[in-house]
Amino acid sequence: MRNPIESTLVGVGFIVKPRSFVKEKLKNYESPPFKLLTFDMRVLRMKKILLLSKVLFALVTLLTFSLPAFAYQEINVQNGGTIQGKAKMFGKMPSPRYYHLILFPNIDMCAEVDTDDEMNRVLDDFKISPDGGLKDVVITLEHVEAGKPFNKEPILITSENCKFFPDVNVIRQGEAFKIDNLDAVMHNSQVYQKERGKILLNIPIPAEEVSDGVVKFKKHYKIMQMICGMHEFMQTWGYRIQNPYYFITNLDGNFKIGDIPPGEYVVNAWHYLMKSQQRKIKIVAGETIDLKFVFDADRVTRPFYETIKSGRIKKDAVYPGTAKGRELGR
């Protein structure tokens, strides 16, 4: 015989069990299999909490190491020291890079500069004076916590005849820059973080207009490369600086940096297709230190994305990761 409540609701499609029946069924959940299931759920919950704590720890660590070790302070430097010298290259001149203009748009305009008789845009990355002086070497003083005012001219990159000017800039973290397109055609600026090959910015540059952007380097990375997405031979480079003690060499390769507070530092010499060189120095008040950085023409490091198969570089180029590259320490 059915329970009165159960009988009442059968006609409408529901069966409601009495409370005593429900209590009886609940006792079954106290049996060993269900107790084990409850335990497994508790373990799973603990694992989730542990995983979340690990993720939070990783985020805190990432943020900690992403921040600069110190903030540069401007002070009044009296009787500071000076470093001066020369960046040179010796050996056989490295081969230029070649880009056949037939592969790119706007061939008439782009062929007006730096183009050979076979319609190749020629990128001469090494500009050397008669006595071996090397242009576009960035000389920086590392580990300077305080010193002279950190004033810097804004970055202006010009695009003319499908070419970026200048070849090299120095840039502060988060610094804004402008690109003045003097060409009657559109360009597309793609900014890469060279050490990782990761794109940082993609900036359309309409014809005869000015565009701007801001570069924010990841972690401790220092090198950026700007390439036009429509004309791959349009390239310019940037090196991250953290203090005002820097110098970009001219064609003579000479450099001079003054007003350096007494102390111990590292001088870094960087060229965008060469391995950086460092010197440890100790600055004494009023002292001038002479330095020389000599780069070997046989130790050129080409960008990873450019290969011999592409036909842009002569076959005597040496690439990182190859047997010859490892022999040369690349």
Kindly state the percentage of the chain with pLDDT values over 70. Answer: 69
Q: What is the pLDDT of residue 303?
A: 64
75-327 placed in CATH 3.10.180.10? no
Nearest to 242 by CA among 73, 81, 80: 73
Q: 310 versus 133: which is more confidently predicted?
A: 133
pLDDT at 24: 59
pLDDT band of 217, cuts 50, 70, 90:
confident
Residue 93: what pLDDT?
86
> Is 194's pLDDT higher than 70?
yes
Q: What is the pLDDT of residue 300?
A: 87
- Which residues, in sequence order, are CB contacts of 198 under 8 Å at separation 6+? 192, 218
Mean of the pLDDT values across residues 199-203? 88
What residues contact residue 180 under an 8 Å CB cut-off, 6+ apart?
156, 157, 158, 159, 210
Is pTM beyond 0.85? Reply is: no
Mean pLDDT of the chain: 81
Report phi then psi at 309, rounded to 5: -60, -25
**pLDDT (tens digit, 9 = 90+) per residue, 7-16?**
433 444 444 4
Residue type for position 3: N
Has residue 144 got a pLDDT over 80?
yes
**Phi-psi sector, 322: left (phi>0), alpha (psi -120 to 50), beta:** beta
For residue 197, pLDDT over 50 is answered with yes
